[in-house]
Amino acid sequence: MTTPIGEGTTTVAPELPHRVLVLNSGSSSVKYQLLDMRDRSRLAVGLVERIGEETSRLTHTLLEGGGAEPRERTGRIADHEEALKAAAEELAADGLGLDSPELAAIGHRVVHGGLRFTEPTVITDEVLAEIERLVPVAPLHNPANITGIRTAQALRPDLPQVAVFDTAFHTTMPESAARYAIDIETADAHRIRRYGFHGTSHAYVSRRTAELLGRPREELSLVVLHLGNGASASAVAGGRCVDTSMGLTPLEGLVMGTRSGDIDPAVTFHLMRVAGMSADEIDVLLNKKSGLVGLCGDNDMREIRRRVDEGDERAALAFDIYIHRLKKYIGAYSAVLGRVDAVVFTAGVGENSAPVREAAIAGLEELGLAVDADLNAVRSGEPRLISPNYARVAVAVVPTDEELEIAGQTFALVGQVDN
């Protein structure tokens, strides 16, 4: 019997391959996790950082059998191939090598799947070529994902490799939400539309929320707030995304750690004309030097709250702008959905910052929303409700787990499951 991830235990015949390696390849980093899909436990996790620099670092942690202290390697790791080989050596040292017959597949996080990829997909040459064709709309992300896939294929050419796309969950958005109101021929010629990102997280969290509420997700209307260093909101009706705050790129929408989120597009050509900035300079300004860091110099919400509590005005202004935008999206998505069953907080800020949750929901009683101060103060890694019993709409904190979702989707596609 197969069971969707997060809903009980998957039964796999013991002799069949049951491990999945999840790879998340960034421009200068590779994150990896090896999972046992029989009980969805993590066997080992690791991170290779600063690839290509003299100060590269690999941190590897064995978690199986009670775990072990993290191991570290430092010194130049030239490229993704070396990074993955180093990771494979660390796994092999723990008896979890990539040559193991227990490995069923490698699941890759791929940021942009365009309109073509609406589901996790086994990677063929043709699929890889299509991911390459999407590089112009995801220049920062897809090239690194492609390098990760190629390297993994070279290491285990016989093994199924699966791409799980950040955009896939959002492909159900109606045209009214997905299209920008610009000249339609220009938009289509350059594939300009709203794709949305963090889809793996929004999908996982919506399903876990349905479990928390004990109701079928087909019945539920949810506003999901993924608040990490990158941040996005989505409106989910009956388990399908109907709107999301990120657009052509992950720059649109909420105020983020270093990204501006929504601005008047005229700001860009104003900066070109008046400040003489180039397109690349404005790209860096809006993606790396804006958001919380641009407003107050810090992008870590813990530090910002500490400064707010000390009376720092810049930090207070940054916090207020962050919350104002969040409220706007909660209101907008309540209107898009018509009826909301739950507002759900997830990711680094959403899971950990009680002040952000309190401030975002404050004053929304007319929308049926309220937060119970005691429940909101509880720190826990478990999905939980933080709204009072009387509230018409549930407010929940549901920790996200993108790696588990990628592993689950990968295994569901290729795993030889005992029926």
Other residues' Cβ atoms within 10 Å of the Cβ of residue 139: 12
Residue 243 designated active-site: no
Nearer to ligand AMP, 145 or 201 (CB): 201
Choice among 79, 125, 166, 262 that is catalytic:
166
- Tell the smallest beta-carbon distance from residue 354 to ligand AMP (Å): 8
Do the beta carbons of residue 10 and residue 37 sit within 8 Å? yes
Q: Name every residue whose Cβ is closer than 8 Å to that of residue 144 and which is 6 or more positions away in sequence.
A: 25, 26, 27, 80
Q: Which of residues 210-249 bind ligand AMP (CB under 6 A)?
A: 228-229
Give the CA count within 13 Å in the CB-facing half-sphere of 179.
Answer: 11
Q: Is 349 in the site for ligand AMP (CB under 6 A)?
A: yes
Q: List the x/- string, 275-304, binding to ligand AMP by CB under 6 A.
A: ------------------------xxxx--
3-state secondary structure of 161: strand
Q: Is 409 in the site for ligand AMP (CB under 6 A)?
A: no
- Tell the smallest beta-carbon distance from residue 274 to ligand AMP (Å): 32
What size, in residues, is the chain? 419
Report the C-alpha gap between 174 and 328 in whole angstroms.
21
Q: Which of residues 73-132 bind ligand AMP (CB under 6 A)?
A: none
DSSP 364-390: -GGGT----HHHHH---SS-EE-S-TT
Nearer to ligand AMP, 287 or 352 (CB): 352
- Tell the smallest beta-carbon distance from residue 236 to ligand AMP (Å): 19
- Tell the smallest beta-carbon distance from residue 303 to ligand AMP (Å): 8
Q: Is 201 in the site for ligand AMP (CB under 6 A)?
A: no
Nearer to ligand AMP, 193 or 307 (CB): 307
- Tell me the residue type at 123: I
- Tell the smallest beta-carbon distance from residue 243 to ligand AMP (Å): 21
Q: Is 352 in the site for ligand AMP (CB under 6 A)?
A: yes
Return the residue of 247, 294, 348, 408 that touches ligand AMP, per CB under 6 A. Answer: 348
Q: Which residue is nearest to ligand AMP (CB)?
A: 348
Nearer to ligand AMP, 64 or 300 (CB): 300
Nearer to ligand AMP, 151 or 244 (CB): 244
Give the CA count within 13 Å in the CB-facing half-sphere of 142.
Answer: 20
Number of residues that bind ligand AMP (CB under 6 A): 12
Q: In the numeric block, which tokens belong to residue 348?
A: 């680094």
What are the distances in angstroms from CA 84 to CA 77, 106, 117, 151?
10, 12, 26, 7
- Please provide residue 305's backbone torsions phi and psi, each rounded to the nearest 5 degrees: -65, -40
- Tell the smallest beta-carbon distance from residue 118 to ligand AMP (Å): 25
Return the residue of 347, 360, 394, 406 that touches ligand AMP, per CB under 6 A. Answer: 347
Stretch that binds ligand AMP, among 69-77, 179-187, 333-341, 346-354 (CB under 6 A): 346-354
How far from chain centre, in Å, is Cα 357?
19
Report the C-alpha gap between 147 and 364 in whole angstroms.
46
Nearer to ligand AMP, 127 or 397 (CB): 397
SS (H, E, C) 122-159: ECCHHHHHHHHHCHHHCCCCHHHHHHHHHHHHHHCCCC
3-state secondary structure of 99: coil
How is the beta sheet containing 384-385 ordered, strand by strand?
240-244, 231-237, 221-227, 342-346, 394-397, 384-385
Nearer to ligand AMP, 105 or 224 (CB): 224
Q: Is 258 in the site for ligand AMP (CB under 6 A)?
A: no
Q: Is 257 in the site for ligand AMP (CB under 6 A)?
A: yes
Stretch that binds ligand AMP, among 9-17, 36-44, 151-159, 347-355 (CB under 6 A): 347-355
- Tell the smallest beta-carbon distance from residue 326 to ligand AMP (Å): 14
- Tell the smallest beta-carbon distance from residue 100 to ligand AMP (Å): 30
Q: Name every residue whose Cβ is closer than 8 Å to that of residue 160 and which is 6 or more positions away in sequence.
A: 104, 105, 106, 122, 413, 414
Other residues' Cβ atoms within 10 Å of the Cβ of residue 108: 25
Nearer to ligand AMP, 213 or 225 (CB): 225
Residues annotated as catalytic (active site), given as ranges: 166
Binding site for ligand AMP (CB under 6 A): 228-229, 257, 299-302, 347-349, 352-353
